[in-house]
């Protein structure tokens, strides 16, 4: 386990992505627990891909592996085999088999990214949010120009509170009114009065903003 930690700690970005696959097998091969090794390995790989790729947890390798269970287990079994010759790595296990498992693992990652992209439709997310904001403004449920602030946060990731007034071209009092309204509706979040604003995804708006993930209930 100490060697495992030393080998997979402090890797560069590309190596960390590949390591999510190779470390997955190596942990299973060591089999450090009496039970639950598979669950731990999948959780570890999910965490490694989340950190290396900044996924935000929106997709998980575990789902893809479960949907390709037979191929997944066949690759793991092949990785357990000893190296075949002097060209098959320098360790005790087959490097070629591990490389094939890594390719399989990364292809599963790509498949899960495409699957979630199809559900979330990020290219249309802005339009869904802006349409919702316009409807709320017309219904006097949000102050005017609230959509401008939402759009700024959407593109920039976060927005300092002090910049809201400049973005909507109004005085600080109105800027605070817009900010407070968006925070109260739960579409923006902030850790404190002096911290930046970030986009939030309240459960009440799940079917409006993410209809592919959360279809509206039939009435």
pLDDT tens column, 89-108: 888 999 999 999 999 999 99
What stretch(es) of the chain map to CATH 1.10.10.10?
122-209
Q: Is the pLDDT of residue 172 over 90?
A: no
Q: Residue 22 pLDDT more than 90?
A: yes
Residue from 17, 80, 90 nearest 54 by CA? 17
Query: In the chain, pLDDT over 70 holds for what percent of residues?
Result: 98
CA 118 to CA 59: how far, in whole Å? 12
Q: Show the DSSP H helices in 54-159 as ranges.
A: 61-67, 69-79, 95-120, 125-138, 146-156
Instruction: Specify the residue for token string 């290219």.
Output: 123
How much of the chain exceeds pLDDT 90, in percent?
74
pLDDT for position 210? 87
Please state which CATH number belongs to domain 122-209.
1.10.10.10
Question: Is residue 219 scored above 60 in pLDDT?
Answer: no
pLDDT exceeds cutoff 70 at 116? yes
Q: Is residue 199 classed as helix, strand or coil in its secondary structure? A: strand
For the entire predicted model, the pTM comes to 0.75
Q: Compute the average pLDDT of residues 125-144.
A: 95
The answer to whether 188 and 198 have CB atoms below 8 angstroms apart is: yes
CB neighbour class for 201 (10 Å; exposed up to 12, middle 13-18, buried from 19): middle
């Amino acid at each position: 386990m100490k060697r495992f930690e030393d080998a997979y700690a402090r890797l560069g970005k590309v190596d960390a992505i590949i390591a999510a696959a190779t470390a997955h097998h190596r942990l299973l091969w060591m089999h450090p627990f009496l039970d639950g090794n598979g669950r731990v390995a999948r959780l570890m790989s999910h965490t490694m891909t989340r950190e290396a790729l900044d996924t935000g947890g929106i997709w998980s390798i575990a789902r893809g592996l479960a949907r390709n269970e037979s191929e997944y287990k066949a690759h793991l079994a092949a990785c357990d085999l000893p190296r075949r010759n002097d060209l098959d790595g320098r360790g005790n296990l087959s490097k070629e088999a591990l490389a094939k498992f890594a390719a399989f693992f990364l292809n599963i990652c790509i498949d899960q990214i495409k699957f979630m992209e199809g559900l979330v439709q990020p290219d249309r997310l802005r339009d869904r949010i802006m349409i919702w904001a316009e409807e709320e403004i017309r219904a006097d449920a949000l102050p005017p120009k609230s959509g401008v602030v939402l759009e700024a946060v959407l593109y920039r990731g976060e927005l300092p509170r002090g910049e809201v007034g400049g973005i909507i071209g109004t005085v600080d009092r109105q800027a605070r009114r817009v900010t407070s309204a968006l925070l109260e509706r739960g579409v923006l979040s902030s850790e404190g009065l002096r911290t930046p604003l970030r986009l939030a995804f309240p459960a009440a708006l799940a079917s409006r903003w993410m209809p592919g993930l959360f279809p509206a209930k039939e009435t």
